[in-house]
Amino acid sequence: MNRPDAVAFDVVETLFSLETLRPRFTAVGLPAYRLETWFASFLRDAFALEIAGVYKPFREIASATLGALLAQESGGAEPEKIEHVLGGFAELEAHDDVAPAMSALRDAGIEVATLTNGSAKVTSALLERAGLRHLVQQVISIDDIGHWKPHREVYLHCAKRLSLEPHQLALVAAHPWDAQGARRSGLIAGYVARDGATFPAAMEAPDLRGTTLVEVFSGLIDPA
């Protein structure tokens, strides 16, 4: 494996935890454990639409799946409840290992970018709020091309935006499907196992893995 010229981070769960949303779930009458159920349903619907050739942005799908969950749990999907929960995306907290990992990459002369299924505007605001924006050269969103990760074109678009060939770019994510999508598109793939998650055997193994971003990026900076 060659040392990459740039690293693109996935954003939600990889850089920013969803835990900020949990009390918002309980505030609108949803059990706290439903956060994971909702996010899995949200990704399922996003991927199903992608396969069917229909593009809808992050917030539209998130709102629809949350409305369905509210209707199931309480019999009603009031718009103000949906807005209360989704408003929490502006307040997501960065994981503790993000700043050290980004700084290490920058110190090593490796460009840093983000590649998100969300919007560039929300991502930029999150990075600013966390004091990380100065470490990131480009904030890249799927909205640019109208495809969801792990569609191949998203990763190729990211490489093009960074003026790199795919093999010169690494993608690091907390989602196995994202790491596999990057690797199948010719990128270097890194996987961070948030909360000790196991990489599924059915998917193509990433080039690098670790329990923290610092572990993953140490392998990117000094590949064996």
Reported as a pLDDT band with limits 50, 70 and 90, residue 224 is: low
How large is the greatest C-alpha to C-alpha distance in the chain, in angstroms?
A: 56
Domains of the chain by residue range: 6-17+92-221, 19-91
- 175 pLDDT higher than 70: yes
Same topology between domain 6-17+92-221 and domain 19-91: no
Q: Looking at per-residue confidence, does 94 or 77 come out higher?
A: 94
Q: Which CATH number fits domain 19-91: 1.10.10.10, 3.40.50.300, 1.10.150.240, 3.60.15.10?
A: 1.10.150.240
> Alpha-carbon distance 113 to 139, whole Å?
6
Helices 98-107, 213-221: axis angle to 10 degrees equals 10
Q: Where are the alpha helices (DSSP H) in 33-175?
A: 34-51, 58-74, 79-86, 98-107, 120-129, 152-161
| Alpha carbons 172 and 5: distance in angstroms, whole number | 14
- pLDDT-above-90 percentage for the chain: 92
Domain 6-17+92-221, architecture per CATH: 3-Layer(aba) Sandwich (3.40)
Query: Tokens 């799946």 appear where?
Result: 65
